């Protein structure tokens, strides 16, 4: 097998699931979530610097596979991500992902990273960032409807960024709820309460997070559950035909979205008229619009995930990997210094062996 001379090859920094887990353990989950929220905010407030588009989605009966690209004048990123709710039945993850960060000036990739774990982290960080700008100040309790793969990250993000201290959790799968409690047992400053129903969980909660996985138009929250001043963090409805809120709940609220053209197709507002008014998150974070107009207003963050958050996440992973001296690299590119007009010669020419590090 040929081996590249890494001193002269075009290697790319690689952060796999093992490296990402190590970074999270070393830095700490809550510190990672806070760092992600900071990077995401930085990029949202320079919204107009980005070339944006809705994600490219290929749907099947089993699920969806998507590509999520975005760039500014310096960096380009994309993420490959799926959503297959039936995967858990065969021991697979519902969502897996990887991403690339590249240099716009040359087109060369700078980083190839796992994004299964980091998507869960960035989704939670974005949820808490939005809530910090939209929810009522002083919120102390959150109802969590859905205790799957995203749940622990959501809890810790809201604890870290909003100082939420009480979590009332409900899932139709009791084992999932038990898993959440086991994973977060002993977390300082956090009170976990098992609720017997959605109604019980949301009663009196300042914030309600819905993060369910079923791929259908569900009605997790109905109008009779909604209380004045409540903020709803709607995370699970993220593709056409998949929602969590009764349309009347959406109609009651001031709705904040990430990227309106995408959310109209995939979010809770797919149920609403095309002219239903929404506010894009970047305008709130940039101070151009208020997230909440009055204390008793119902607010919804209609979260579907947007490529800008992946861009921010890949920037953060790159910087974090450099700080933590994560040195793993892969030979994704041809070696540096070869004749750019003689790619064939890299493989078959007389200097092929030397270009691959052989005498």
Domains defined for the chain, CATH in brackets: 10-117+309-355 (3.30.1780.10), 125-305 (3.40.50.720)
Tens digit of pLDDT for each residue in 263-272? 999 999 999 9
Q: How far apart are CA 243 and CA 261, in angstroms?
A: 17
Task: Tell me what percent of the residues of the chain surpass a pLDDT of 70.
Answer: 93
Helix axes 29-44, 116-134, angle to 10 degrees: 70
Tens digit of pLDDT for each residue in 33-60? 999 999 999 999 999 999 999 999 999 9
- Residue 294 has a CB neighbour count (10 Å cut-off) of 10
**Is 5 among the catalytic positions?**
no
pLDDT at position 15, please?
A: 95
pLDDT at position 215, please?
A: 64
The per-residue DSSP string of 157-198 comes to HHHHHH---EEEEE-SSHHHHHHHHHHHTT-TT-EEEE-SSH
pLDDT-flagged residues of the chain (< 50)? 1-8, 356, 359
pLDDT at position 6, please?
A: 37
Q: How far apart are CA 13 and CA 329, in angstroms?
A: 4
Task: Identify the H or E element spanning 152.
Answer: helix 151-162
In degrees and rounded to multiples of 5, residue 6 shows phi and psi of: -65, -20
Exposure letters 203-237 (e unless 16+ CB within 10 A, then b): eebbbbbbbbbebebbebbeeebbeebbbbbbbbb
- Which of 238, 296, 302, 319 is catalytic? The answer is 238
- The answer to whether the Cα torsion of 164, 167, 168, 172 is positive or negative is positive
Which residues contact residue 94 at a Cβ distance below 8 angstroms, ignoring those fewer than 6 apart?
A: 83, 84, 85, 87, 88, 148, 149, 213
pLDDT at position 218, please?
A: 81
pLDDT at position 131, please?
A: 98
pTM: 0.92
Nearest in space to 107 (alpha carbons), one of 144, 139, 76: 76
- Give 207's strand partners: 142, 231
**What are the helix (H) ranges across 185-306?**
198-202, 247-252, 260-266, 281-285
């Amino acid at each position: 097998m040929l081996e590249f001379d890494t001193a002269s090859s075009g290697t790319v920094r690689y952060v796999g699931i093992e490296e990402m887990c190590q970074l999270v353990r070393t830095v700490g989950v809550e510190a990672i979530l806070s760092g992600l929220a900071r990077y995401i905010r930085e990029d949202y407030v320079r919204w107009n610097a980005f070339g944006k588009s809705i994600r490219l989605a290929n749907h099947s009966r089993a699920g969806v596979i998507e590509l999520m690209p975005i760039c500014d004048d310096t960096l380009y990123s994309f993420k490959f991500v799926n959503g297959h709710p039936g995967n858990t039945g065969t021991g697979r993850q519902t969502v897996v992902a990887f991403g690339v960060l590249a240099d716009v000036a040359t087109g060369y990739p700078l980083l190839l990273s796992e994004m299964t774990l980091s998507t869960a982290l960035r989704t939670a960080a974005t949820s808490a960032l939005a809530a910090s700008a939209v929810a009522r100040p002083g919120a102390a309790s959150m109802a969590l409807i859905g205790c799957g793969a995203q749940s622990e990250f959501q809890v810790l993000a809201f604890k870290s960024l909003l100082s939420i201290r009480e979590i009332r959790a409900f899932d139709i799968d009791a084992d999932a709820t038990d898993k959440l409690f086991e994973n977060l047992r002993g977390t300082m400053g956090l009170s976990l309460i098992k609720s017997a129903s959605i109604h019980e969980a949301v009663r009196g909660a300042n914030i309600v997070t819905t993060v369910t996985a079923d791929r259908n138009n569900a009605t997790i929250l109905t109008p009779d559950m909604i209380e004045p001043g409540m903020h709803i963090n709607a995370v699970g409805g993220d593709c056409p035909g998949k929602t969590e809120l009764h349309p009347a709940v959406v109609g009651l609220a001031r709705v904040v979205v990430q990227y309106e053209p995408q959310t109209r197709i995939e979010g809770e507002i797919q149920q609403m008229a095309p002219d239903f008014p929404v506010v894009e998150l970047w305008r709130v974070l940039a101070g151009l619009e208020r997230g909440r107009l009055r204390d008793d207003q119902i607010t919804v963050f209609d979260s579907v995930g947007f490529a800008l958050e992946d861009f921010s996440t890949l920037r953060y992973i790159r910087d974090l990997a450099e700080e933590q001296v994560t040195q793993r690299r892969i030979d994704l590119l041809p070696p540096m210094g070869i004749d750019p007009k003689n790619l064939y010669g890299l493989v078959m020419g007389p200097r092929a062996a030397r270009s691959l590090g052989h005498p």
